[in-house]
Structure 1
Amino acid sequence: MALLKKFFNVKKNRTLILGIHGLSNKPPKKLLTSWWKRSIKEGLAKIDKSPTQFDFKMVYWADLLHKEPLQLGISDPDDPLHIDEPYIAEKNLRTAAYKGVLQKAKNLIQYIKEILFLSRLGLNKFRRPFNMIVKIGFKDLDTYYNEEVPENEQMFQPLFKERVRKRLTEIIRKNRKKDVLIIAHSMGSIIAYDVLLQLRGEIDIKGFISMGSPMGLPLIREKIMQDHGLPFDDEPLPPTPEGIEAWYSFCDRDDNIGSFYNLAHFYQPNTQGVKPIGKFVENNYKYWVTDNAHKSFGYLRCKEVAQVVSDFLVSGRSSFFTKSMQLFRRKGKDTKKPQG
């Protein structure tokens, strides 16, 4: 037992999981880090003989856009710093999910908005309505792509996009001697992708997991191509970044933000033949009061996500890709071309 513990400690010291959160304001970094780690551990507990100890760092960027973080002690749901969706252990989700009339109405409005603008049948292919809904409902994303700094401040105030990318780049470079797995949720996957593309394979990244990613949306792909100066015709097909050994795209069927879940159909392989592998999973946060199939905690404890994390923690560089490919071949029957 002592020898086995020593083995996993050695693995832990040379591996690092980087988490990148998604849109909107968040709880303080320390609390959000704790919630991500607890969610990952819940997932690893479902994998036979998986280690549960790992080195984890949160790439926190909510503070770049929001003056104050969300607070646990605020119970008023109308307070802008109230936490609507705190971490809830998986075993408590179903029993705690009472939905009042007002909450049901809010959930319905959110659902209609996502269907109209983000689903495969929605208006996300049309620039004007898409830009409108991004400005209204996804302000962080709008700032990332459309922020303008007044001319008299341009020398002193770098763009938000540059600051958040720099934050991730510095952490990756600081840990370049470690095996790194990046787990990025929602808009965090765009940030991770942009940084990996800019690094041009300078640093090897063992794995990249995107969860509930909007990167398949046509106009997001177009913005990515424009942002990196890449030419495209009618169908923008960005490249898979160099230097990553594997890229997995996980999405719940009810998560409209990730409706174009199988990014393999929308991203070209890199020079090593690596491209995204898409898989549907069950995000159990849709059983919480907010009916949110997009929540990061629910994705992190999915068994399919946990299997990739476990393989990363216990396997060598050469075997990680092979093992994870076997997982997707064995269970990933839904990776064929999506409808529409």
Structure 2
Amino acid sequence: MHDRPLILGIHGLANKPPREEKQAWWGQAVAEGLRRNVGRSPPDLPFDFVYWADLRYDAPLADDHNREPYYPARGRGPFPSPDGVCAPTLTDRLYRVIEWIQVKAGRLILDDLIIEHRLDDLWGYYEDSVFRDAARDRLRQALAQHEGRPLLLAAHSMGSLIAYDVLRLLERQGKLPRIAHFVTMGAPLGLAEIKRRLASEHGDLRVPEAVARWSNLGDREDLATVGTTLAEAYAPNRAGIGVVDCPVINAYRRPRGGKNPHKSYGYLRTPEFSRAVAAFLDGEMRAESKDRAALSAASGA
């Protein structure tokens, strides 16, 4: 049905496998997390995917060059979660001091180096307006295609930046998609340079009006999440919806055993993301059932 709830994903930095493969892997990672973390195995997971890597790379990532494919994780039972609230790491503390110095000096030298040399696609996003507009259009088209449906918008890494920009731009056009839950994962939205650019384009830093809930999932070892927490940086929207920063453990391991705390599959398999998906599907299905019951009662009156 056109108004059924939907999980809409958008990927992050770097080249990717072909669209169909990447979308399938995201769906499998979500399903694996639901099964292991909350004991759920939906027969038909409502999922769609926004793919933009082809706008920046000439050819998809080939299998023999993909060091970080999706594969089911070893073991059984829930994936790990942090014990209590994760305190800022030493990297966080150092970055906050450097950010303060940069802002006072009026030059964001460190951020420019991080973005250009470690997060290259972010640099391209801001330097290449054709690429930026095309990436935004991919998400706009998906939101238009699913207009009227309640959405859990799952945005990883640079996908969170694209999603934030699009939601703020649509807001100015008077268009508010039904974002029941905005889940950002490994988001670079706390970097000083990103915050400066967002405020320059949108006028302020706050939760988009279309968003009914915003959860920001971050592994504290993930370099992209360094900086201020998003709850500190982004004010609530007019409905009073603020960002909830949620520390997680990204347990993804490369096939040969190396860690990558930024990998999308690890975030999609966290218990925190699984619980968000289960609550979204349950809540929207209950709302749909109530709406049907009310419509049936009205028709029979």
Normalising to structure 2: TM-score of the pair? 0.80
Give distance in 2, aligned partners of 1:138 and 1:241: 25
* Pairwise CA RMSD: 2.6
In the TM superposition, residue 227 of structure 1 has moved relative to its aligned partner by 2.3
Are 1:44 and 1:52, in contact at CA under 8 Å, matched by a contact in 2? no
Give distance in 2, aligned partners of 1:318 and 1:254: 37
Give distance in 2, aligned partners of 1:272 and 1:173: 23
Residue pairs, 1:123-138, within 5 angstroms: 123=98, 126=102, 127-138=108-119
Residue 177 of structure 2 corresponds to which residue in structure 1? 203
Q: Does 1:249 align with 2:216?
A: yes
Which of structures 1 and 2 has the larger relative contact order (alpha carbons within 8 angstroms, sep 6+)?
Answer: 2
In the TM superposition, residue 92 of structure 1 has moved relative to its aligned partner by 6.8
Deviates more, 1:37-46 or 1:130-139: 130-139
The sequence identity of aligned pairs, in percent, is: 36
Select the residue among 68, 73, 94 that pairs with 1:85.
68
Are 1:54 and 1:313, in contact at CA under 8 Å, matched by a contact in 2? no
Residue 239 of structure 1 corresponds to which residue in structure 2? 206
In the TM superposition, residue 132 of structure 1 has moved relative to its aligned partner by 2.6
Give distance in 1, aligned partners of 2:73 and 2:140: 33
**Structure 2 alignment gaps of length 5 or more:** 77-88, 103-107, 289-301
Select the residue among 41, 55, 60 that pairs with 2:51.
60
In the TM superposition, residue 291 of structure 1 has moved relative to its aligned partner by 1.7
Aligned pair count reads 263
Residue pairs, 1:70-219, within 5 angstroms: 70-72=61-63, 74=64, 82-91=65-74, 119-122=92-95, 123=98, 126=102, 127-147=108-128, 159-200=130-171, 202-219=176-193
In the TM superposition, residue 55 of structure 1 has moved relative to its aligned partner by 1.8
Assess, with a 3 A threshold, how the Cα gap between structure 1 residues 317 and 227 changes in structure 2: closer, same or farther.
Answer: farther
Give distance in 2, aligned partners of 1:275 and 1:239: 8
1:78-113: CA deviation from partner (whole Å, max 9, x where unpaired): xxxx111111211179xxxxxxxxxxxxxxxxxxxx
Select the residue among 11, 21, 24 that pairs with 1:21.
11
Select the residue among 248, 265, 268 that pairs with 1:297.
265
Residue 224 of structure 1 corresponds to which residue in structure 2? 198
1:7-58: CA deviation from partner (whole Å, max 9, x where unpaired): xxx7x97121111100010111011111101100011112145635322111
Normalising to structure 1: TM-score of the pair? 0.71
Q: Does 1:308 align with 2:276?
A: yes
Give distance in 2, aligned partners of 1:202 and 1:40: 26
1:160-190: CA deviation from partner (whole Å, max 9, x where unpaired): 1111111101110121121111101011000
**Structure 1 alignment gaps of length 5 or more:** 1-9, 75-81, 94-114, 149-158, 231-236, 321-340
Are 1:51 and 1:314, in contact at CA under 8 Å, matched by a contact in 2? no
Give distance in 2, aligned partners of 1:287 and 1:85: 5
AA aligned opposite 2:176 = E
Give distance in 1, aligned partners of 2:34 and 2:16: 24
Are 1:283 and 1:295, in contact at CA under 8 Å, matched by a contact in 2? yes
AA aligned opposite 1:203 = P
Give distance in 1, aligned partners of 2:262 and 2:273: 14
In the TM superposition, residue 276 of structure 1 has moved relative to its aligned partner by 0.9
